[in-house]
Structure 1
Amino acid sequence: MTNRSGGCACGAIRFTINAPLMNVGVCHCTDCQKASGGGPNYVALAPKTSLSVTKGEAKTYFSKGDSGEDVGRAFCPDCGTPLWSLPPHAPFLTVKLGALDHNADLTPALHLYTASAPPWHLMHEGRPTFPKMPPFPPPGA
């Protein structure tokens, strides 16, 4: 599926992605755990230039990543739905799978920041795991 659409729970934010997703992963970092309410974040990589916001305006929260640089996390200012993240200096953004209208065809290819995962986080057997950020491009990309 080349074009995808998505948005927040209340409908205030809508977006489209007009390029194939590059990979799907599961992030277990502590920031993702806080954003999700405890579990890991399921994300897909999309070229930054492929995202168009078609309704509303997301708010972005910035925090320091492992690199020491700011990572942006976009969310709906009305309902709080996490939408995508903006890694610094990367040509891609990470779209939250839960923000996509259709995600049943997406399967995680890897797990990252597993060093931060509590023992109750589920891991997909046979998928590569990385204690921190994997090399780019990730395996299977």
Structure 2
Amino acid sequence: MFDTIRRTGSCLCGGVQFSVRGPPLRIGLCHCKDCRKAGGSAYSAFAIWPREAFEKTGLVSSYGMRSFCPTCGGRVARVDDNEAEVMIGSLDVAPTDLVPEYELWTARRETWLHALPGTEQFERDRPAANSAEVPAPRSLSDVDAAA
């Protein structure tokens, strides 16, 4: 089902470890308020795999769908029924060969950051796959802030 590529990663202390198999579905950068607050950075860099390609060991705590290590607080993944979003910085091998294809919430991008060359740019969320409609914003805080 998946090709032979297997990537591993962990939280900062190593108490939670994970792996993903095969190529990611998509790779992106996000500048939304939730990603900024969750990571304490101006943006987050992530790759998304099918849920069945993701495995983890260790105990996690969660906030919404975001999981993190209860010991060190390191982000692990955002997992739903279909997909697993892994922060590129949590992978064991750096640098990686994963190259972002798009940027989200560019309306919140810092003025000193420039668009990543060759990437698709979305002022807010990217349109849902196979749909002309744009999905609901990531959070109510982003809706309030965008207004």
TM-score bucket of the superposed structures, by smaller chain: 0.7 to 0.9
Identity rate of aligned residues, in percent?
Answer: 33
Query: What is the identity, as a one-letter code, of the residue corresponding to 2:72?
Result: C
Select the structure with the greater relative contact order (CA < 8 A; seq sep ≥ 6).
Answer: 1
Distance apart, 1:122 and its partner CA:
4.0
Partner of 2:30: 27
Partner of 1:60: 62
Query: What is the identity, as a one-letter code, of the residue corresponding to 1:129?
Result: Q
1:38 to 27, 38, 41: 41
Using the size of structure 1 for normalisation, the TM-score is: 0.80
Distance apart, 1:124 and its partner CA:
0.6
Segments of structure 2 that go 5 or more residues without pairing to the other structure are: 131-147
Calculate the aligned-residue CA RMSD, in Å: 1.9
Q: Is the 8 A contact 2:16 2:76 kept in 1?
A: no
Quick check: which one's strand share is greater? 1
CA–CA separation in structure 2 for the residues paired with 1:17 and 1:100: 10
Distance apart, 1:22 and its partner CA:
1.3
CA–CA separation in structure 2 for the residues paired with 1:116 and 1:6: 28
Partner of 1:127: 119
Partner of 2:100: 108
Indicate the SS of the match to 2:125.
coil
CA–CA separation in structure 1 for the residues paired with 2:60 and 2:21: 18
Indicate the SS of the match to 1:34.
helix
Segments of structure 1 that go 5 or more residues without pairing to the other structure are: 63-71
CA–CA separation in structure 2 for the residues paired with 1:83 and 1:50: 15
Runs of 4+ in 1 over 6 A off after TM superposition: none
Using the size of structure 2 for normalisation, the TM-score is: 0.77
2:83 to 88, 92, 98: 92
Q: Is the 8 A contact 2:20 2:54 kept in 1?
A: yes
Distance 1:37 1:129, change over 3 A: same
Equivalent pairs, count: 126
Distance 1:105 1:92, change over 3 A: same
Partner of 1:75: 68
Q: Is the 8 A contact 2:101 2:118 kept in 1?
A: no
The one-character-per-residue Cα deviations of 1:96-122 (angstroms, maximum 9, x if unpaired) are 001111252111111011122221334
Distance 1:6 1:33, change over 3 A: same
1:48 aligns with 2:41: no
Query: What is the identity, as a one-letter code, of the residue corresponding to 2:88?
Result: L
Which one has a bigger Cα radius of gyration? 2
Q: Is the 8 A contact 1:15 1:51 kept in 2?
A: yes
Quick check: which one's helix share is greater? 2
Distance apart, 1:128 and its partner CA:
1.0
Distance apart, 1:35 and its partner CA:
1.5
